Chain A
Amino acid sequence: MSTEQWSRLSTDAFNVALFAYIAGMIGYFYYLAFRGQLAWRAARVAAFLGLSANALSVVSRGVAAGRVPWGNMYEYSSLLALLVVTGYLFVVEGVFKVRVLGGFVLAFSVLTMAIAVMFLYVGPGPLVPALNSYWIKIHVVAAITGSSLFALGSIVTILYLAKDRRERRTAAMTPIAGGSVDLEDAPPHFESGADEPVGEATRWGILPSAAVLDRVAYRTIAFAFPIWTFAVIAGAIWAEQAWGRYWGWDPKETWSFITWVVFAGYLHARATSGWRGRRAAVIALVGFASLLVTYYAVNLWIVGLHSYAR
């Protein structure tokens, strides 16, 4: 196949993935609202279809460009969507058996991919010399993996905040509530599907309990943190090779540092009395906001050495 054909295949697969993710998102939200098993199965099929198309798109893009497919923002976005959905389907749904977060996860991927096609598209081509390094490949893979996990953790954190609020309201209305909740001591796995905890409004009841959501969020972010740390270190090593300085407070560096500091703050907050729970969750969301700035705003609006990576 010629370069053009590979390139076209990549674009087509990208579009298929985007629409499959949209379909999956709708299915998952339907499942969240009405709990139809059929809806869940259909949504899952759509998500896997999207995932395959997404993977095909990434690979054929790499073939078309004759290099690793993470050289610019369009390619980062596609890969980010791929990793977030993979993480969700295989870890959150596969390991934690939490089925109800799919809509939110797919919504994130759809948004990422939509922004990528609308604003960030560039044709496949070789990398500019500064980006052509061993370390940047490692750096970008780590950064995207870390970001997708942070994104997953943050989506769960938002749901935790919503659910927690709900639980507090119900608790305030029920006389038997009381005692402190040890977050680590939530009931074991919430098996989704038939046996929901009772006594909740259906739409909220389908979400795992706040304690479980909080734990999943913490685990995900704690998993992402060392990967992000590694990404920042690999970036510094690359910067040292490319520009002769490992750290220069270039906007992209500054924002990845801010993201790192805020998530370190989150991990600390989890171990600080009076900061556990909602306050820590808010810090995680600030970290997520900072991640989005690192990812989009710096490339698109703030000038710096990294800006040519658009």
Chain B
Amino acid sequence: MTLRQSLALVWRTLRSMRTALVLLLLLGVAAVAGSLVPQVGTSNARILAMFRDHPLRADIYDKLGLFDVFGSWWFTLIYSLLLISLAACLFPRTRALVRNIRSRPQPSRELDAMRHYAARPVPAEPERAIADARRVLRRRFFRVAQSNGGGPPALAADKGLAREGGSLLFHWSFFLILVGMVWGKGTGFTGQAVIVEGQTWTEAAANYDGRIDEGRFVDESDHSGVGIHVEDFTATYRIPSGIPEDFVTHAELYDANGAFLRTVDIRVNHPAEIDGVKVYQFGYGWAPVVDAREDGVPIASGPVVCTQGPPPQGVSPLQLPWNCVVKLPTLTPQVGIRFELWPDSRSLYALLRTGTAMPMLTQFSPVMTYTAYRGDLRSELVQNATVLDTMGMRRWKQGVIGAGQTKELGAGLTISFPDLRQYTVLQVKRDRGLWIMLLAALLILIGLLPALYSSRRKLWVTAEPDGRGSVLKVGGFALQRRSQFEEEFAKLVDELTGTPRDRVGVL
């Protein structure tokens, strides 16, 4: 086989309906794998558990890309081939459709050879009968061409080009989806902002909590610099069931120059939008205000963000305490304090009394247990503010501190707990491809309807003189929904040969 022949073969294979079908089904199979194997991003904990419990299997899965099916090379390959095959199908189909639209319905004289055929006498003479027929067909959305060659007058008509047009629109729109996805991801970013009540957060790459997901065309200067000042966060639960009812962040928005724009309530399903950046309510947590003083001189003061680990099986996160860390590197020896916060102290008492903590739905005389360590914080190694590495430290003091209290730790160090605040976690995101996706979705739906529900019909009409009137001959066939056409054709013939409405009075 020459190169040319092989290329022709590849092209022909790509263009075939069978290839498209097989690729579609393959895409489905690949997606099944992606739903059965835990995926990076949605089930990280389960992946880690698998690496721990079945290292060999996990390793094989990892090599095959099964933990990230939708980003794997073979998933990409399948949909790329599908899109190439799609383009290969669409180019010739589009060209054919354009040609078809430009050309007029072709005449035919062999009407009685058609699948559907009828001949009936009509009172009008041929020219007139054809003109009437033309009007009827137009009203029924047929394209009509009159042949002016020799012989009796004749019409050629067809309808249903919308079917192919819709199908092409539908199929082409998948490329628009690809464009919207690539453009949106490439020029967009998404990350999380952690903001304590009373604080202001500025949208810039450095201010995100943890990793920020940036597209490859985004750089530092591309961030908006808008500000979000959180006045207050409220979580509402039904009492006593603990079913969440509402999460809302009351915030003030500022533009990049610090000018006040407006206040917003950001809640689940109701994101706020500033300057092309969308802000979603994502989560929340507690942030106790902790003051540390050495000999009465403040050395650290402010809200501390507390977090929760994953709850054990059968335990609601609402029953778990919150953990946070305060580091005091200026002291010698250095001091690190671990806090365990109970926003509702009744929950802690319930735990001590009955062994089961109560769900904490609101703040109620909060308490913290604390453990202080002395030694070396190893700050050069442990930079994460929420992690206390006690490797180089010894346990020093333990105790309980309630809201509004102050505790003496010794060596002149006191800590106090003047206030408990909440922080909100906002998902901050920019996606400039959204409107393209929306447009594509719209076109897909618009294209799909005629593609599935309209059908091609071809029809020819001639009129031959017969006495004072003429004989109208009608022939035609349908390319889809043929069984339905039987009835349609009969009705059309009735209408074509029946009495035209405007002449009822005369006859």
Contacts and interface: CB of A to CB of B under 8 A. Distances in A.
A221 B21 CA distance: 17
B67 interface: no
Bin chain B's interface residue count. 35 or more
A304 B481 contact: no
A185 interface: yes
A157 to B, nearest CB: 17
Interface stretch (A17-25, A45-53, A261-269): A261-269
Contacts of A130: 268-269
Interface in B223-265: 238, 241, 243-247
Given A225-B452, A268-B17, A304-B42, A254 B31 contact: yes
Contact of A184 (B24, B434, B482): B482
Nearest to B68: A249
B269 A132 contact: yes
Contacts of A187: 483
Contacts of B41: 248
Given A125-B243, A265-B28, A249 B269 contact: no
Contacts of B271: 241, 244
Interface stretch (A28-36, A79-87, A97-105, A226-234): A226-234
Given A226-B449, A249-B70, A254-B34, A275 B21 contact: yes
Interface stretch (B133-141, B312-320, B440-448, B465-473): B440-448
A238 B280 CA distance: 13
B303 to A, nearest CB: 25
Given A244-B280, A251-B35, A129 B267 contact: yes
A272 B238 contact: no
A226 B448 contact: yes
Given A129-B246, A243-B427, A275 B42 contact: no
Which among A230, A244, A254, A305 has the highest number of chain B CB atoms within 10 Å? A244
B270 interface: yes
Contact of A126 (B35, B243, B438): B243
Contacts of A182: 482
B34 A249 contact: yes
Contacts of A272: 17-18, 21
Given A129-B244, A249-B70, 10 more contacts: A125-B238, A184-B481, A222-B453, A226-B452, A254-B34, A258-B35, A264-B24, A265-B24, A268-B17, A268-B21
Q: Which 9 pairs between the two chains have the least Cβ-Cβ distance?
A: A129-B268, A133-B269, A244-B280, A254-B35, A261-B28, A272-B17, A244-B427, A233-B441, A184-B482
Interface of B: 17-18, 20-21, 24-25, 27-28, 31-32, 34-35, 39, 41-43, 69-70, 190, 238, 241, 243-247, 267-271, 278, 280, 282, 427, 429, 434, 437-438, 441, 444-445, 448-449, 452-453, 480-483, 486-487
